[in-house]
Structure 1
Amino acid sequence: MEQKNIKDWGLYGHACQLRMEQCMSNFYFVACQVFNDPVHGHVEFHPLLIKIIDTPQFQRLRYIKHLGGVGYVFPGASHSRYEHSIGYNVQRGSHKMYLVPCVYLDITPEDILCVQIAGLCHDLDMFDHLVKSNGLEKVMKDYKLDLPKDLEFIKEMIQGPEDTQAVAQSTVLWPYKGRTKDKSFLYEIVANEKNGIDVVKFDYLARDCYHLGIPQGFDYRRCLVFARVCRVNSERHICFRDKELDNLCNMFHTRSYLHRKAYQHRATKIIEVMISDAFSTADEHIQIEGSGGEMFTLSTAKNDMEAYTKLTEEIIDKALKSSEEMAQARQILHRITTRKTYKFLGERDAERPTEVCTNVYVRLYCIKHLCDTVLKHLPKLMSEQFIGVYCKNSDNEVVEAAQKKFDQWDEKLDSQALLFQILMHMSVLSLYTGWRQSNTRKHHIKLKKSERWR
C-alpha cells in the first residue's frame, strides 16, 4: 500500500491515511475461483467457500426449487436454492464497501469470510453437520478462523442470537457471542432482523424477477453504493443515503408484488396444498436410509442429518413412479401434472391482519445535515392477509354446492366464526382452508437520525 493509492481513494490527512494502511496490512490475498452467474455476472469464491460448496449437504440444494410450486404456474421459475446461495456471494463487494469510508471499523479478513460463509449457508438447516461430517474445522483454522467463536458468529448471523427470549424481553445488553457490540453492523448484512434490508433479499428479488419475467423496480447495486456504517444511539448500523429512500421503498413494493403475483398466486397455493396432501398420504411408504442404516419416513427424516441430506424434490418423481402402496399420492400428483387441480372457491380479507405485522425502520444519513422528516407520499402499510378456500372434489355438483356455501360468507362475521361454519360442512363439500399472506410485515419507512457520517 502506497501513499499515492490512498490519496487516489480520496482519503487525506496523516491520521486517516495511517489508519488505512493499518487496516490494509491485516488483509491477505488468496487465489479465488470464478463462477459465472446469469443474474450478477462473474462471481469470485474464496477457497474455503469452494470446500463448502463441494459437500453433499450443499449440493443437495441443487435438487430443491427455490420457489417450490411456483414453477408449475410460471415455467421459468425452475431455479434452485443452490443458484440462490451461490448468487449471494456476488454481494461480497458490499462488505468491502464499508472499508473505504469507515477505516476505523477494524474489519478483518476473518470477519468478511465469516459473513460470506453465513450468506452461502443461510438456506442450510444442517450447518453443524456439514462442518463436522466433512472435516472442515481444520480447513477453517488454516484460514485463521477462530473456532468455536467464529462458528458461533456464523450461526448467529443466520439464525439470530441463541437466547431469543432474553432478546424479546430486553433483559440482556448484547445477546450475541460471536462479535462484540462495536461490530453490530455485521449482523445486518445476511439476515437483517431490524428492518429486513439485507443482501440475501437483494439476490432473491433480482433472481426471482429474472426467472419469472417480472420487471424489477429496485436497483440493489445503487443501494449498495450508498450504504455506509453510521453510529446511531451508541451502536453502529448499516445506513443508506437519504436520496435512496424511494429505491428502498421500491424493494418493499417489489417484494409485495412478487407475493401477490407469484409466491401467493392462487394456483400456486393450490398446487402446494396438493403436494402436501400427497406427501401426507405417502409418508409411511417412503423409507429413507439414515446414519447406521436406520430407516426413516418422510416426516421423521428431519431427525437424522444423514437421512435429511437425501430429502429432495426427487421424492415427487419417486411417488409418480411408485407401486400400489402410494396409489393415492400418485393420483394427487398426477392431477397436478394434468392440471386437474383443486377448485378455487374464493378468498376474503382477514379481520385482524396487524397481528402478524412488525414495524420496520430504515436509517438514513445525509452528508450536510441530519434527516428528521418523513416523506408524506410513502405508504405506511404494505401488508395483506387473506383466507383462501379450495374444494378438493372436482365434481361439478360438489363444486357448485361448495361455491354457494362460500358465497354465503358474511363479511361482518369474525374470521374464526366463518372458519367454524365452513369446517362444519367439510365432510360434505371437502373444503380446504388456508392463509395467504402477500407480505407479513407492516413497513413504516421512517427517517431515523444518524450521528455524523463515519
Structure 2
Amino acid sequence: MAGKGTKIFRDPIHGNIRIFPFELNIIGLKIFQRLRCLKQTPSVAYVFHSANHTRFEHSIGALHVSEMYARNLDIIDPEKELLRLCALLHDIGHGVFSHQYDVTVYREIYPEAEHGHDKHRMKIIREYLPEILLNTYDEAELERSIKLSGLGKYLTSSVDETIRTIMNKIAEILESEGEVFYNLIHGPFGCDRMDFIKRDSYFSGTCHYGGFPLDRFILFSSIRDDGNGNKILCYSSKILDDILLLLINRFQMFKNVYFHKTCRALDLMLQQILRYSMEPLNLVERTVNLEEFEKLNDNSLFYEILFCFQDSGELKEAHKLIDRILRRDLYKTVIDEAELPTQEQIKKYTASGFLKMLAENRKAALKKLYEKEEGDECPRLFIDTPYEIRMNPLQELLKSNIDIYDETEKIPKKYNEIERERSFKTLNVESFNIYRLYTLSDTEREKLISYARSIMKRKKPKIDTQI
C-alpha cells in the first residue's frame, strides 16, 4: 500500500515503484518531463524496433534500484532520500540525442568535460531546480512534501533556503567520485548501470544480455572501513562469478546493440545533424539558457528542422539527413575492424587516440588507392571510433575505489588479491575497441569495397609508439 502522498509507478523491469511527494514535485516539472522525449538509445530503435524507451523510464528505474541498495545497506532518511533524488536526477542534463549532444553541442560549452551532460546536470540542480520548484508550487505544499519524503531535517524557516540546501547536497554527492554514495549511483555496479543494462536489453529484445542477478549484487553489497578510517563500498567474494557475468552482459550489449554497425551509422548521422543545426538554430545559446533548454528534445529538433527551417546551407544539409533517416537510407560500412592496442600504444596515444590514428591511416590509404585506380575522386568516407569497452574487473573496481569483501578472512581486499589467492583467473581482454569507415550509400560502398578489402589485407600501418 502506498503511503500518504506517495504514488506507485508500474514498471516492466522492476514492477511497482513507490515515488514520494518531493520526488513527484520534481517529476512534474517540465525540465524533468522532457526526459519522456529523449530516447535512452536514440539510434538503437532503427535496428531493434522496440527500443523506444526513454530517459524518463530509466531515471525512475534507477531511483528504484537506489531504494533497494538503501534498504540493504541500512541507509535511513534523510540520506536515503538524498540517494534516491541523486538517482532520479542523474540524467537530467542529457541533451538532444543523448550522448551525441556530448560530442557536439556540449563540446562547445564544456570543452574540457568528458561528459558535458554531467556538467550541465550540476547547473540545472544547483541553479534551476530551486527556482522553478518555488515558481511552480506554493511554499506550504513544498514544505509538506519535504517532510513526507524524509527530508524534514533540512527544513528551516525559509523553504527557498531548504530547497537550495537539498539541491546542493545532491550535487555534492554526484561530484564526489570514488565515495560510497557516488558509487551507488555511477559505480560499475551502481543503480544507473544496473537499470540501463536490464532495461536496454529488455526493450532491444536481447534479454539474455541482461541476465545478471541484480538481487545478488544488492544483497551482497556492504559498506566497510578500508583500514584508514574511510568508508568504502564492497561486494562479497561470493559474487565473483556474478561480477564477471555482469561485465560479459555489458560487453555483449555494447558489441551487439549499442555499437552495432547500423546503430553507429545512425549515431554519425545524428552527430552531423547537430553540427549542421548548431549555429543556425542557436543550440549553444539555447542550451545555456535553461528555460530554452527544457524545450529542446529529440522530437522538437526533428520538427524544427523539417518544418521550420529556412532554405539555407547548413540547415538544408541537416534536413537532408533527417529525410534519409526517416526513409532509413543510412550510411553503409566499408571497413569494420576490432583492435586491441598494446600498452605502449595506449601509453603514448590513449586507446581512443590510437584507434583514430589507425582509422585515419586506413581512410587515407583507401582514398589514395581508389583515386589511383579509378582516376576519379573518392566517395566521401566517415570515421567512427566508439569509445573503449573495459572488460577487466580490476580496471573497473580500482578506478571506482570499490573492494571485494573476503568472506573467509572477513576483510576488504582488492580484486587482484582475491584473483591471485584463489587462482581465479578472469578475462584476459582488458578492453575492446572498434573502428569503422562508412560511406554515403550502397552505390558508393560497391565502388569502394574491393579496394577496402585490398587495404585490409596489407600489413597494418606502422604507428610510432616510442615515448
TM-score normalized by the length of structure 1:
0.69
Given the superposition, is the C-alpha separation of residues 204 and 398 from structure 1 closer, same or farther in structure 2, using an over 3 Å criterion? closer
Q: Distance in 2 between matches of 1:137 and 1:383?
A: 52
**Relative to 1, partners in 2 of residues 1:156 and 1:137: Cα closer, same or farther, differing over 3 Å?**
farther
Any idea what SS the aligned residue of 1:348 has? strand
1:94 aligns with 2:79: no
Unaligned runs of 5+ in 1: 1-28, 100-106, 162-166, 168-183, 287-296, 418-454
Q: Please state how far the C-alpha of 1:367 moved relative to its aligned partner.
A: 3.9
Matched, 1:218 2:212: yes
Q: 1:137 to 1:346 in 2, by over 3 A?
A: farther
Query: 2:192 aligns to what?
Result: 200
The percent identity for this pair of structures is 20
More helix by share: 2
For 1:260-279, list aligned pairs within 5 A.
260-279=255-274
Cα distance in 2 between the residues matched to 1:309 and 1:220: 33
Partner of 1:365: 405
1:159 corresponds to 2:175: yes
Change (3 A) 1:369 1:145: same
Task: Specify the alignment match of 1:396 in structure 2.
Answer: 443
Q: Tell me whether 1:35 sits opposite 2:82 in the alignment.
A: no
Question: What's the counterpart of residue 318 of structure 2?
Answer: 329
Matches for 1:102-141 after TM superposition, within 5 Å: 107-125=75-93, 126-128=124-126, 129-135=128-134, 139=142
- Do the aligned residues in 2 keep the contact of 1:353 with 1:385 (CA within 8 Å)? no
Aligned pairs (5 A) from 1:18-29: none
Tell whether the 8 Å contact from 1:342 to 1:390 is kept in structure 2 after alignment.
yes
Distance 1:405 1:301, change over 3 A: same
Q: In the alignment, is residue 254 of structure 1 matched against residue 249 of structure 2?
A: yes
Post-superposition offset of 1:369: 2.4
Number of matched residues? 347
Amino acid at match of 1:312: N
* Letter aligned with residue 40 of structure 1: H
2:285 is equivalent to residue 300 of structure 1: yes
- Once the two structures are overlaid, the 10-residue window that deviates more, 147-156 or 271-280, is 147-156
CA shift, 1:395, in A, is: 6.8
The answer for the alignment partner of 2:425 in structure 1 is 377
1:320 and 2:306 correspond: yes
Deviation of the 1:404 alpha carbon: 1.3
Unmatched tracts of structure 2, length 5 or more: 94-123, 155-161, 352-389
Say whether residues 1:69 and 2:43 are aligned partners: yes
**Higher relative contact order (CA closer than 8 Å, sequence separation 6+):** 2
Structure 1 vs Structure 2 CA RMSD: 2.8
Cα contact 2:63–2:191 (8 A) shared by 1: no
